[in-house]
Amino acid sequence: MVSLLAPRRGAGAAGRRWLVLLPPVLLALLLARPAGALVEGLYCGTRDCYEVLGVSRTAGKAEIARAYRQLARRYHPDRYRPEPGDEDPERTPQSAEEAFLLVATAYETLKDEETRKDYDYMLDHPEEYYSHYYHYYSRRLAPKVDVRIVILVSVCAVSLFQFFSWWNSYDKAISYLATVPKYRIQAMEIAKQQGLLRKAKEKGRNKKSKEEIRDEEENIIKNIIKSKVDIKGGYQKPQIRDLLLFQILLAPFHLCSYIVWYCRWIYNFNIKGKEYGEEERLYIIRKSMKMSKSQFDSLEDHQKETFLKRELWIKENYEVYKQEQEEELKKKLANDPRWKRYRRWMKNEGPRRLTFVDD
């Protein structure tokens, strides 16, 4: 019984070894391709591009161009004429058109240095089948326009849109301030002191209408407000350095500056234990409030002084201040009649559910 089972065990082990080797063998057979240098679908197909143009592999650009011009004149569909005594049925205008396309393909392949280099590499290394396909179609499908130019044009367009949008917001802010009595009266006093309004009303040779005088006075008031009022925040005067294009160009500088600043911060306040200055305290307060630099700069000076007096850069003090602000906001909402009406509406009716059923 033992002798009968022994061969079966040996056969089973050999079968298991074949099962282990079977996937690699099948994969090799599946990926196996003919090692021919000329492949259908690549460049000139099964024809050698050098033979199509009738030149050698050492031919220069001038020789290739000259051979192409001669063959193009010969096989051009509009100029092709069968040679006298040529009774070959294959020499037809249709075959001439195919020959012309083949000549053009050969010339397009050999006139470019990079494409010719890839083609010569394919002739010398026919076994790298998939690599040739990759190089061929990567060049054929590559965008004709440089991606860097597209990115540069896009960034410039966004920067221009940013600049005009910010300038429009700044003009709206100035126009609004010109209607506020506080700023308008001060601007008119300055204009009178400098004699600008008197000059606007002078007629001289060119008589001005009342509307023109009014528009000119309005522009004088706006210009004085622009020079005297420092608008901060989202309506501040646009700066060239804030545009996207300049931000990208200055990004390495800003990154290096931030690294240097952060290292100084760690060394001065974490290692040496120095006390925070006013600038550092305001920075910590701004980070605790989660406000951007432009938002924090738009706050009034007395608000920043209050922050410093209450020592809000200390975490415990800031938590107390935050809780006080929340309580104060709740009291304001509780006394607000609109908020009361809203709560009453939510309690009695609430947001009704949308249905398609008629009551």
DSSP 28-87: HHHH-----SS-TTSTTTTS-HHHHHT--TT--HHHHHHHHHHHHHHH-TTT--PPTT--
Residue 354 has what pLDDT? Answer: 43
Interhelix angle 315-335/278-289, rounded to 10 degrees, is: 50
Predicted local confidence at residue 177, as pLDDT: 85
Give the pLDDT of residue 184: 85
What pLDDT sits at residue 23? Answer: 52
Per the CB < 8 A criterion, the answer to whether 138 and 49 are in contact is no
Q: Specify whether the backbone of 40 is left (phi greater than 0), alpha (psi in -120 to 50) or beta.
A: beta
With a cut of 70, list the residues of the chain below it in pLDDT.
1-39, 79-93, 142-145, 197-208, 232-234, 345-359
Q: Are 129 and 39 in contact (CB under 8 A)?
A: yes
DSSP 270: I
CB 178 within 8 A of CB 225: yes
Give the pLDDT of residue 83: 57
Name 1's Cβ contacts closer than 8 Å, sequence gap at least 6. none
- Please give the pLDDT value at position 264: 92
Q: What is the rounded CA–CA span in Å between residue 200 and residue 216? A: 7
| 63 close to 55: Cβ distance less than 8 angstroms | yes
Class of domain 49-141: mainly alpha
- In angstroms, the CA 175 to CA 215 distance is 12
pLDDT of residue 92: 60
Query: What is d(CA 190, CA 196) in angstroms, rounded to the nearest whole number?
Result: 9
The residue type at 29: L
Distance CA 302, CA 244 (A): 33
**What is the predicted pLDDT for the residue at 34?**
42
Count, residues in the chain: 359
Listed in sequence order, the residues at least 6 apart from 287 whose beta carbon sits closer than 8 Å to its beta carbon are: none
Measured distance CA(341)–CA(334) in Å, rounded: 10
- Per-residue model confidence (pLDDT) at position 18: 46
Provide CB contacts within 8 A for 33, sequence distance 6+. 129
Could you give the CA distance from residue 342 to residue 332 in angstroms, rounded to a whole number?
A: 14
Q: How far is CA 132 from CA 33, 37, 41, in A?
A: 13, 10, 11
In whole angstroms, give the CA distance from residue 260 to residue 251.
Answer: 14
Identity of the residue numbered 142 = A
Q: Cα-flanking dihedrals φ and ψ of residue 268, to 5°?
A: -75, -45
Q: Looking at the chain, which residues constitute the CATH 1.10.287.110 domain(s)?
A: 49-141
At 236, list the tokens: 């501040």
Residue burial 275-292, b: 16+ Cβ < 10 Å; e: rest? eeeeeebbbebbebeeee
